[in-house]
Amino acid sequence: MSATTDQDAALRIASGRKPFVEPLRLGERLKEIRLANHWTLEDVSQRTGLARSTLSKIENDQISPTFTAVQKLIGGLGIDLPQLLSPPKPQSRTLGRRDLTRVGEGQQHPTPTYEHELLSWQLAQKRMIPFKTIVRARGFEEFNEWVRHDGEEFLIVLDGDILLYTEFYEPLRLTRGDSIYFDSDMGHALVSVSDEDAVVLSVCTRAESS
């Protein structure tokens, strides 16, 4: 330790000042963990039982999580306390990234109404989420609630016909080759209306709080 460093430490002790300790960046760390796992705020909400609005405020350092909330985050996300409290990794500018997904090698995510195949799923910190979906639903009544998530969405029909239901508009029929761009925090749902299950390609953006 240099003489200057010794003097600084002595001055801090003499003046009663504590050495500087970098504050916890828990919100930033939570967002880092979420994005690394390709989770939306809704995914984390379902896993932890915390409201999406609460999670968004935590990530944006608008509120500090309570001890109970921290326990729910640890349990719901399958991590331990040191993982949650460790500082976020330094953000470095990445150039020339790419992530190839061969036919049929996307990450499968089936649901009762959709059969999603996440594309480029191994690439973390993406600004967009591309996925291909086989639309199994045949009626709007098959959905328990509106589908909604942060950001915006582009959708193009690859095969078959669909009805796009949105909470602010009348149902819209789209056929092969038709495309649409919409705010995905608006409730929406897709239903196949062709003989075979329709197939669509969707690309969702990540909002800053997503």
Higher pLDDT, 4 or 82: 82
- One DSSP character per residue, 146-165 reads -B--SSEEEEEEEES-EEEE
- Centre a 10 Å sphere on the Cβ of residue 140 and count the other Cβ atoms it contains: 13
Q: What is the pLDDT of residue 92?
A: 57
SS3 195: coil
What is the Cα–Cα distance from 44 to 65, expressed in whole angstroms? 14
- Centre a 10 Å sphere on the Cβ of residue 54 and count the other Cβ atoms it contains: 18
Q: What is the pLDDT of residue 19?
A: 42
Write down the H helix ranges in 88-173.
Answer: none
Q: Percent of the chain, pLDDT > 90?
A: 49
Q: What is the pLDDT of residue 9?
A: 47
Average per-residue pLDDT for the chain: 84
177 — phi, psi (to 5°)?
Answer: 95, -20
pTM of the complete model: 0.55
Return the DSSP state at 184: T
Q: Are strands 128-135 and 114-118 parallel, antiparallel or unpaired?
A: antiparallel
Residue with tokens 């001055």: 11
- Grade residue 183 by pLDDT with cuts at 50, 70 and 90: very high
Q: What is the pLDDT of residue 15?
A: 47
pLDDT single digits (tens) 70-117: 889 989 988 888 888 777 666 555 557 788 899 989 999 999 999 999
Residue 130 reports pLDDT greater than 90: yes
